[in-house]
Amino acid sequence: MSVVTESGRTTVDSVVYVHPAAICESQRVGEGTRVWPFAHVLDGAVIGRDCNICEHAYVEGGATLGDRVIVKNQAMIWDGVAIEDDVFIGPGVAFTNDRYPRSRGLKETGHRYQQTENWLAPTTVRHGASIGAGAIVLAGVTIGQYASIGAGSVVTRDVPDHAIVSGNPARCVAWACSCGHPLGEHFSCPQCDRRFTLIDGALGIEE
């Protein structure tokens, strides 16, 4: 696994690649995962196999990532965020984990920050979803499988499977194929010909 050197930086080993200008302090990073310059994976973060943690990204202790997750540059993934397999986290995407943040030194916050359960709201991103560049994800939401979050969106509530959402606040504007392309007429994909059905507002793939 990754090795932290005396300088606080890490060196390459046989299974996880950590660039010399990155810091990887987690001992729970899967084989084939790469960590690029100025990125920081903290102790307590759990990352699966064959992930790509790009430059200036930040994965905090308590965050969990599945396999083949792409974390593009500057994405920030905090304690309480769980990301399933094959998810794409775009550049500059910011998760959050506190709905009503204040400086912890502010006396009016009282006991709020003394126990994690007082303030931390967990977030989940399901299998195959994509989050576009610069999107902001509010604490406590679930993003459904194969959903596509438009670049620059502010996600304030749950996103259904396969939904394409955009805007501030983000609203559903179309449906995405598993491959990522927007569906055309009759919920069929012009790119890969997969077909879907909409039942009770939920999109499912036709066998």
Please report, as ranges, the residues that interact with its own copies according to CB under 8 A: 7-9, 19-21, 23, 37-38, 40, 50, 55-56, 58, 67-70, 73-74, 76, 86-88, 90-92, 94-96, 100-110, 112, 128, 130, 132-134, 136, 138, 146, 148, 150-154, 166-169, 176-182, 192, 194
Q: Are 119 and 98 in contact (CB under 8 A)?
A: yes
End-to-end Cα distance, the chain = 41
Output the smallest distance, CB 105 to its own copies, in A.
Answer: 3
For its own copies, the closer CB: 57 or 200: 57
Smallest gap from Cβ 43 to its own copies, in A, equals 13
Comparing CB distances to its own copies, the nearer of 86 and 161 is 86
Please report how close the Cβ of residue 155 comes to its own copies at its closest, in angstroms: 9
Query: Closest approach of Cβ 95 to its own copies, in Å?
Result: 8
Query: Which residue, 63, 120, 122, 61, is CA-closest to 87?
Result: 63
Q: Which is nearer to its own copies, 80 or 128 (CB)?
A: 128
Residue 144 CB, nearest distance to its own copies (Å)? 15
Of the pair 169, 202, the CB lying nearest its own copies is at 169
Smallest CA-to-CA distance from 146 within 78, 196, 105, 91 is with 196
